[in-house]
Structure 1
Amino acid sequence: MHTANVESEAIACLEAISVGIVPVIANSPLSATRQFALDERSLFEPNNAKDLSAKIDWWLENKLERETMQNEYAKSALNYTLENSVIQIEKVYEEAIRDFKNNPNLFKTLA
């Protein structure tokens, strides 16, 4: 369960899903954590205890689906390995280099 309305790194959630824990995450627009939810069943409305309770109860009552999703969540965490993160940041740098070569004025600082 991840109830934060504001979160920029989401490390705890990523650690949990990497070992197959099915999360229940606040669907806050100010939280990066919600990106880890594979579907709506793992999201609850922020500050809504009834919705949170309903989502927790659903996962507890649906063991087979929870077990299936445990595997799906563990697989999804592989997208965030160090190796994949390095590949993604290299792509960002390559795009910035291309943009600079195509339009150097994009990178002029204000004086």
Structure 2
Amino acid sequence: MSDHQDGAWTLHRRADGRTLADLIVTGGDFPWLNARVEPRAGLEEIRPLFVEELRLLDGVDEDVDSWERAYDAVRNAVTMRYPDGQEVPEFLLHVDGNEAWWRWSDEPFDEEDT
């Protein structure tokens, strides 16, 4: 696969595949990428999910279960695609206004305890 930092990643509504935003990579610190969010129609409808996820992330050490439920709501609402158009199997995405940062995996995360 090509260098994932070249080109725009895209955020899509899971329900219908509609593109919600272009994520233009501005930098990163492995394993995280940072991007500018270029919103499209429909992003404002799900933005409250990101606001709630970030609010709970601030207190994740005190209440990880609430944060996990909030992040599950984000993941149930959106998918992400690499610049080449293929769907990202697994990602951890945060959006704050017009900034985003995420890490990803080319394979689904293993949910089992090892």
What is the TM-score with the length of structure 2 in the denominator?
A: 0.25
Higher helix content, 1 or 2: 1
Query: Higher relative contact order by CA 8 Å / sep ≥ 6: 1 or 2?
Result: 2
